[in-house]
Amino acid sequence: MTRNEFNAFCSGLAHTTHVVQWGNSDVWKVGGKVFAICGWNEDADAFSFKASDLAFEVLREMPGIRPAPYLASRGLKWLQHFEPPGLSNDELKNHIVASYDMVIAGLTKKKRAELGL
């Protein structure tokens, strides 16, 4: 997946916002909370996403995937696809959607209602 494909995919999810921060990273949010990031890898695009406990345990051992720099070191369950083989584009999209869904589930009822979710 390229950075442009990542941004196009994330922009297609309902009620998302995009900012560029943290050293030119594309940061995607829903309800003001981050669910996906492209950046933080000097050699190539890297894609970070929130993961379930099970996904974090299983995927972090796969070649091309690691606990996301900065986020995972703070105890958060975030993974980063940083080099091949990693995840296929479809698998990466599925994990981004799962991250988006987890973030929505963590929003207050009031915030979800404001967003129509």
**104: domain CATH number?**
3.90.1150.30
User: Region 85-93: what's the mean pLDDT?
Assistant: 96
Q: Quick check: is 90 in a domain?
A: yes
Task: Let me know if residue 38 belongs to a domain.
Answer: yes
| Average pLDDT value for residue range 99-105 | 97
Q: Is residue 43 part of a domain?
A: yes
**DSSP tag of 68:** P
Domain presence at residue 117 = no
Work out the mean pLDDT of the chain and round it to a whole number. Answer: 93
The pLDDT score that the predictor gives to residue 41 is: 64
Closest to 75 (Cα-Cα) out of 83, 66, 67? 67
Query: What confidence tens digit (pLDDT) does each residue in 17-74 have?
Result: 999 998 889 999 999 999 999 986 667 789 999 999 999 999 999 999 999 988 877 7
Domain residues for 95? 3-112
Residue 63 domain flag: yes
Domains in the chain, number: 1
Contact 65, 80 (CB under 8 A): yes
Q: Extract the tokens encoding 98.
A: 């799962």
